Amino acid sequence: MSDWDDGQTPPPNPKPSIGKLVEQMSEQATRLVRTEIALAKKELTTKAARSGIGIGMFVVAGVLSLYALGFLLHSAMVGLAHAVPLWLAALIVGVALLLVAGLLAFVGKKQLTKGMPPTPEATIANLKEDVATVKEGLRP
């Protein structure tokens, strides 16, 4: 016969059974794993977006560099064939394009660096902390 069959009211907060504790632990572990997976997906998405922006800027910088090279070659040709004002104007445009390409390459490199390496570092740190917490909780 249990303590509660004697007509008395049970204690307000009975201790949960081992089965209930295992069920709660299983539920919480599942929720934790799902949360960590969601965090990893978000982190990888952010890094991929930054990498894409950086790569796009490198591509634009490359195209502008080709245009700048064309302008510089044209300015050299016109400079030899004509008076100073025409080739000087073409040279100024070419140098300006090179400056823009250099700026885009610099910003693109910074974006690419922010996106690399494409590993979910915060998620890995959280998982290590979770494992350490669980290990410490299992110790008597």
Residues 11-48: tens digit of each pLDDT:
666 787 888 888 888 888 889 888 888 888 888 888 88
Is 12 inside any structural domain? Answer: no
Task: Give the pLDDT confidence score for residue 60 in this predicted structure.
Answer: 92
Is 3 inside any structural domain? Answer: no
Q: Is pLDDT larger for residue 4 or for residue 101?
A: 101
Single-letter amino acid, residue 12: P
Is 89 inside any structural domain? Answer: yes
Per the CB < 8 A criterion, the answer to whether 99 and 63 are in contact is no
Left, alpha or beta for 116 (phi > 0: left; psi -120 to 50: alpha)? beta
Task: Give the pLDDT confidence score for residue 49 in this predicted structure.
Answer: 86
How many domains would you assign to the chain? Answer: 1
Is 1 inside any structural domain? Answer: no
Spatial distance between the Cα atoms of 133 and 63, rounded to a whole number of angstroms:
52
Structural domain containing residue 51: 18-138
| Full-model pTM | 0.44
Q: Where are the alpha helices (DSSP H) in the chain?
A: 18-81, 84-115, 121-138
Is 8 inside any structural domain? Answer: no
Residues 67-119: tens digit of each pLDDT:
888 887 787 677 656 666 676 777 777 788 788 889 999 998 888 888 777 77
Spatial distance between the Cα atoms of 123 and 35, rounded to a whole number of angstroms:
10
Is 6 inside any structural domain? Answer: no
121-138 and 18-81 helices cross at what angle (nearest 10)? Answer: 160
Is 4 inside any structural domain? Answer: no
For residue 135, give both structure tokens.
């290990």
